[in-house]
Structure 1
Amino acid sequence: MWVAGAVVLVAGCGTERGVAAPAATSSRSSIASQVPSAYDPCTDIPESVLASEGLHSKRTATSRASGGVRWRGCAWVRTNGYAVSIRATNLTVDVVRSKGFAETREFTIDGRRAVSTRQFDGPYIQEACTVDVEMNGGSLEFNLNNPPSRRDTGSIDSCELARTLAEKVVPTMPATA
């Protein structure tokens, strides 16, 4: 199943399995032209954090969408559990919140504004969740896919899993990120 989850997570756009295309704002001026570079999730997340969640099999998860939206990061999988891409994006928390996605929730992590959303349509809406955490020039995005068939995590809400992971990762970011 990792391959199927990776397609949804790494692609980040399209309509496979009811995935909504990533949001872009109507005003390009509200989106930075580049992905923030002060924190690289592929190299800056401590191995101890990844190990605490049982995450392995890192893959590049970089993409572009219409309207100048960009992501740069990596994806991991947990055996018998969820798959997640953690990417820096030029989408800000405000832009994500303004899209009106289902189940939008605002909160803070380590003093940074954050928002969780269900950005997928159709029957798979509950197995996926995206958490965006404020960064200078964008956000750090946790795009988590947790099918109910997963033995270890399938019975846990995907937004709960994404937020728990974000709460482990975000404190490792420098204050300038």
Structure 2
Amino acid sequence: MSGIDVRGVIRSAAILLGALPVLVACGSDGSHSTTDSSSVLQTGVPSAFDPCRDIPDSTLQQLGFDSGSRKSIPDQVINTGDVDQVVRARGCEFAIDGGAGYQGPTRIAIEATNTTIAYFRKHDEKDRPVREISVEGRDVIISGPAFGGQCEGLIDVPGGGILLSTADTNATSCDMVVKTAKAIAPLLPK
């Protein structure tokens, strides 16, 4: 199995989560104001859930992840090009052990991020399928598959979201993202 191309994920996240500037509108008096304050990033990464620490081995095994493969991803800070708009993420990646004949994705990253559902909705790439679902009463956005199978999902949590992403080129990547969202949602803070 190959590891997630962290640079590729970071490039993708920069495009997905922040490459577009926040739009500024001019009032009739010449003043400037942000058009949608709900799409502004939170300042820090939510700390009430740590994907590296707070997902029990039993949940990982239920998902078909190798619990021994838990690997910390270096903290990410991605400048969006907007003043005071920096995407931040912290988490872990996990190898997926689907058994003999398994044809799905081989790795998934699970990260706490300051990206909100509103920000994700506004800045998501428009060239890939996007659907919104509810899991355990939470909003979840699934974006993909794209780039030959990459899929990302964002689960709403206070102060941001939990980002799930596969970097594999596999048609079933979004199925794994949805399955993972459903498994970890009960563990997340309300």
Normalised to the residue count of structure 1, the TM-score between the two structures is 0.78
Greater fraction helix: 1
Q: Give secondary structure in 2 for the equivalent of 1:33.
A: coil
What is the aligned-residue RMSD (CA, Å)?
2.4
Kindly state the Cα deviation for residue 11 of structure 1 after the two structures are TM-superposed.
5.5
**CA–CA separation in structure 2 for the residues paired with 1:48 and 1:84:** 17
1:108-136 deviation per Cα after TM superposition (whole angstroms, max 9, x unaligned)? 11001110112854xx2xx2110101011
**CA–CA separation in structure 1 for the residues paired with 2:59 and 2:65:** 9
**CA–CA separation in structure 2 for the residues paired with 1:87 and 1:73:** 4
Kindly state the Cα deviation for residue 55 of structure 1 after the two structures are TM-superposed.
1.4
- Indicate the structure (1 or 2) with the bigger Cα radius of gyration: 2
Equivalent residue number for residue 60 of structure 1: 72
Q: Give secondary structure in 2 for the equivalent of 1:12.
A: helix
> When the two structures are aligned, how many residues end up with a matched partner?
158
Instruction: Please say if residues 92 and 111 of structure 2, whose CA atoms lie closer than 8 Å, have aligned partners that are also in contact.
Output: yes
Instruction: Please say if residues 150 and 166 of structure 2, whose CA atoms lie closer than 8 Å, have aligned partners that are also in contact.
Output: yes
Label 1:46 to 1:52 Cα distance change in 2 as closer, same or farther (>3 A).
same
Counterpart mapping for 1:105-124 below 5 A = 105-118=131-144, 120-121=146-147, 124=148
Give 4+ residue runs of structure 1 displaced > 4 Å after superposition. Answer: none
Equivalent residue number for residue 14 of structure 1: 11
1:76-114 deviation per Cα after TM superposition (whole angstroms, max 9, x unaligned)? 011355210000111111111112431010111100111
Equivalent residue number for residue 168 of structure 1: 183
Unaligned 5+ residue runs, structure 1? Answer: 149-155
Kindly state the Cα deviation for residue 22 of structure 1 after the two structures are TM-superposed.
4.0
Kindly state the Cα deviation for residue 26 of structure 1 after the two structures are TM-superposed.
2.6
Unaligned 5+ residue runs, structure 2? Answer: 23-33, 81-85, 99-104
Equivalent residue number for residue 156 of structure 2: 134
Residue 84 (structure 2) pairs with residue 89 (structure 1): no
Label 1:119 to 1:136 Cα distance change in 2 as closer, same or farther (>3 A).
farther
Counterpart mapping for 1:24-103 below 5 A = 24=18, 26-27=21-22, 30-56=40-66, 57-61=69-73, 62-67=75-80, 68-79=86-97, 81-101=105-125, 102-103=128-129
